[in-house]
Amino acid sequence: MKNFFYKLIIWLRQFLTGSFYNHKNVWEAFPEFFDAILETSFPVPGLKKIISLTDRNERQRCNAMTPQGLTLTEDYLLISAYCHDHQHRSIIYVLDRITGVRIKTVILPDLPHAGGLAYDPLHKKIWISNTAGKHAAVATIALDDIEKYDKDPITIAYQQKIVLKELPRASALTYDQGYLYVALFTLNERGKFCCYPIDYQGNLETIVEDTLVKSPFDTLNIPQKIQGVAIYKNLLLLSQSWGKQSGKIFVFDINSTADFSNLDEALKIIETPPYLEQIYVDGDQLYALFESGASAYRKKTPYVMKNVLQADLKKLLNETTNEAFLQSKSA
């Protein structure tokens, strides 16, 4: 009965917000991707309007919020968004991860692109993409602070903001087993991918050079136009999109890939609707966020995705990549 109730709530929210897409057309265009999509999905809030603050802390309606980052905690699904017109502070939507109901909207203290979100479950900390002049940065917010955040239009405070040496921008983030992974989006050259260990206090365990934090590991090359990164067992998943072209998810075997920017080494390339942003792995499920529902893009593609979609990873990756699992385990 509880599952039926949750599904009814999700259906009603999709109906009332116009979140249904043309199933037949989009399924025919991207059959491999949609064949693995599960029934549960989460409507993205604020695509038409949301209350935020200007840089002068004036309460104002924003019609241009554009979803970017995605992560899950034990109880919540978090979506970051920035104002495409650069007039309002960026925000994080807090959704119930079971029902998809928006609980609150958290206003950030600045206007970052907020292209990546990551959650550290050991230290109950949210990592957010940011910038600091010519360098990438990551900011942190305690999960406890998000839970205590009041509905009044005030900004939440960052716990810390850390400037990274290797990258000019932090375009995508993910957390996995005590490490924060940061990727750089590029248009005309290979992207970059860095790994930062997290210490027992929940801080980046790194070398400091002239106030800049440096990764103790080598920087890896990745393909151009990478919007999201996720790790599933021994696989690295990279989401790519730019403009009206189809999005793609590149699947690499971490143990056997010599060059992650070489698409010939990818185990699998999965086509998705355009404007794919962050992807997130939870168990055997993949969550995918799109920005095509935002005002800047919704008229540029017939495949407008207003929901966070949830896919069965085992079905999506099928036997080709399952062989890689077996080879990795037997090595």
pLDDT of 258-282, one tens digit each? 999 999 999 999 999 999 999 999 9
Q: Phi/psi of residue 167, each to 5°?
A: -120, 145
pLDDT of residue 17: 46
pLDDT for the residue 212: 79
By the 8 A CB rule, do 112 and 169 touch?
A: no
What's the confidence (pLDDT) of residue 1? 54
Instruction: Assign residue 140 the CATH number of its domain.
Output: 2.120.10
- Helix ranges restricted to H, 19-100: 23-29, 31-34
Q: What is the pLDDT of residue 322?
A: 56
Structural domain range at position 9? 2-330
Give the per-residue pLDDT at 321. 54
As a whole number of angstroms, the distance between CA 203 and CA 197 comes to 8
pLDDT at position 27 is 82
Helix (H) / strand (E) element for 148: namely helix 143-148
The parts of the chain modelled with pLDDT lower than 70 are 1-24, 208-211, 319-331
Question: Is the Cβ–Cβ distance between 252 and 320 less than 8 Å?
Answer: no
pLDDT of res. 329? 45
Give how many domains the chain has, as a whole number. Answer: 1
For residue 251, the one-letter residue type is V
Token representation of residue 211: 């106030």
pLDDT of residue 216: 87
Q: What is the pTM of this model?
A: 0.91
Residue 254, classed as helix, strand or coil, is coil
Predicted pLDDT at 94: 98
Amino acid code (one letter) for 1 = M
Q: What confidence score (pLDDT) does residue 330 get? A: 45
CB 217, CB 138: distance < 8 Å: no
